[in-house]
Amino acid sequence: MPETLSDIGEFGLIERIDALLKREGKRTPEVTIGIGDDCAAFQPRAGHEILVTCDVMVEGRHYLAKFISPLDLGRRAMTLNISDIGAMGGIPRYALVSLGLRRDMWVEDVEAIYLGFVEALNPFHAVIIGGNITRSDGANFIDITLIGEIKSGTSVRRSTARPGDAILATGYPGEAAAGLQILLAGGSAHGWEDHPLVRAYNRPSHRAVEGAAVARSGLATAMIDISDGLLGDLGHICDASGVGARLVHENLPISPALREWAAQLKKDPLDFVLGDSDDYELIITCPPEHIKDIRSVISALGPVPVSAIGEITSPLKGAGNIQVTSTNGISRSLSRSGWNHFAR
C-alpha cells in the first residue's frame, strides 16, 4: 500500500527529496552549501546580475488536483517561475521550494511533483538548493523562489517601451484559458490529456531561452511574459512605460485548435486570445525595423511563431489605454482584463 506523509513524517520526506534530487538533478560548482544546513549558499558569477522571483500555487485557486497529474503540477509550478526569469532575459540557476501539504497525501505524489521541478530545471543545469515543508490542514500549496542571472546591464524591463515601437507576441495566447474551459466543461481530465489546448494549460511551455536570446541581441525595448492574459500583461507594459497601445484585430494570432474549439462553443476565439490566460508566452516591443531580426533570433531556436500584433502609442487617453483597430479603420478601446486575485 502506498505510504502517506503521516507514515514517514517530515524528516523522512526530506530524506526522500534529498535522495531524489541527488539522483535526478544536476550539479553546479557555484553552490557551496546545498540542502541540509540552515541556509544554502552559492557564489555569484562575475559580471552577472542576480534576478529573483517568487510565485505560489494554491490548490483550488491556481490548480485543481483532479485535472492535473503531480508530475505536470511540479513542472507547471516551476515553469511559471522560469517564465518570469526569462521575461527579463535571464537564465534560472537556483530554486528554493516550500510546500504546504496535507498529512494524508501520498509520498509518491510528492516525489512526482519534485520530478516535475527537476524536469523543468535540468535543461538549464539549474538546481534546487533548499526550501521548507509544513503541514497544511486545508489546501495544499507550492511556493517557489527562483534565482536567476543575467549579464550585467542587459536585462529587458516592462518600463522601457516607446511610442512607435512594434508589439510582438510569441505563440498563441489564449490556448491555456481554452484548455481550462475544456476541463471544467468535461468535469475530468480523462480523455482530454492529449488535447492541444489542455496540454497548453497543464503543460505550458516557457520562453526563457527565447527571452534570453532577445535580451542578448539588444533589439527589444521592453518584454513581459503572458501570465495574466495578453491584455492584462500588455497593460502592465503600458502602465510601467507611460504609454498606450493599438492592436490590429486581424493580426492577433489564433491557433487552429483554438479556432476549432471556439467554433464548437459558438464563441469568438478572440475572447480567449484577449481574456485571462496563463500562457507564458512573451510580449516584446521593439522599433519596427527590428521585427525581422527578432523573428530570426527566435526562429533560430525552434519553431516558435512571432506575430506583429500592433504598436505602442502615445498615451492619448492616459497611460495604459489599449485600442484595437480593424482593417476598415474602425477603432475601439478595449476593457483591460487580466488575472486579479482580489477582484470581486
The residue assigned the cell 531561452 is 209
Q: What is the 3-state secondary structure (H, E, C) of the chain?
A: CCCEHHHHHHHHHHHHHHHHHHHHCCCCCCEEECECECCCEECCCCCEEEEEEEEEEEECCCECHHHCCHHHHHHHHHHHHHHHHHHCCCEEEEEEEEEEECCCCEHHHHHHHHHHHHHHHHHHCCEEEEEEEEECCCCCEEEEEEEEEEECCCCCCCCCCCCCCEEEEECCCCHHHHHHHHHHHHCCCCCCCCCHHHHHHHCCCCCHHHHHHHHHHCCCCEEEECCCCHHHHHHHHHHHHCCEEEEEHHHCCCCHHHHHHHHHHCCCHHHHHHCCCCCCCEEEEECHHHHHHHHHHHHCCCCCCEEEEEEEECCCCCCCCEEEECCCCCEEECCCCCCCCCCC
Q: Which CATH architecture has domain 7-151?
A: 2-Layer Sandwich (3.30)
| Nine-digit cell string for 318 | 492616459
Question: Does position 159 have pLDDT exceeding 60, yes or no?
Answer: yes
Give the gyration radius of the chain's Cα atoms: 21
Q: Which residues of 128-167 are buried (b: 16+ CB within 10 A; e: fewer)?
A: bbbbebeeeeeebbbbbbbbbbbbeebebbbeebeeebbb
The pLDDT value recorded for residue 316 is 64
The pLDDT value recorded for residue 337 is 58
The pLDDT value recorded for residue 124 is 97
- Could you read off the pLDDT of 142-158 as tens digits, one per residue? 999 999 999 999 999 99
- Could you read off the pLDDT of 23-53 as tens digits, one per residue? 999 988 899 998 888 899 999 999 999 999 9
Average pLDDT over residues 201-228: 96
Question: Does position 324 have pLDDT exceeding 80, yes or no?
Answer: yes
Q: What is the pTM of this model?
A: 0.92
Question: Does position 307 have pLDDT exceeding 90, yes or no?
Answer: yes
Report the length, in residues, of the chain: 344
- Could you read off the pLDDT of 246-266 as tens digits, one per residue? 999 999 999 999 999 999 888
- Contact between 247 and 325 (Cβ < 8 Å): yes
Range of lowest pLDDT (149-163, 164-178, 322-336): 322-336
Question: Does position 342 have pLDDT exceeding 50, yes or no?
Answer: no
- The rounded percent of the chain whose pLDDT value lies above 70 is 94
Q: Which CATH architecture has domain 166-333?
A: Alpha-Beta Complex (3.90)
Instruction: Give the residue extent of every domain in the chain.
Output: 7-151, 166-333
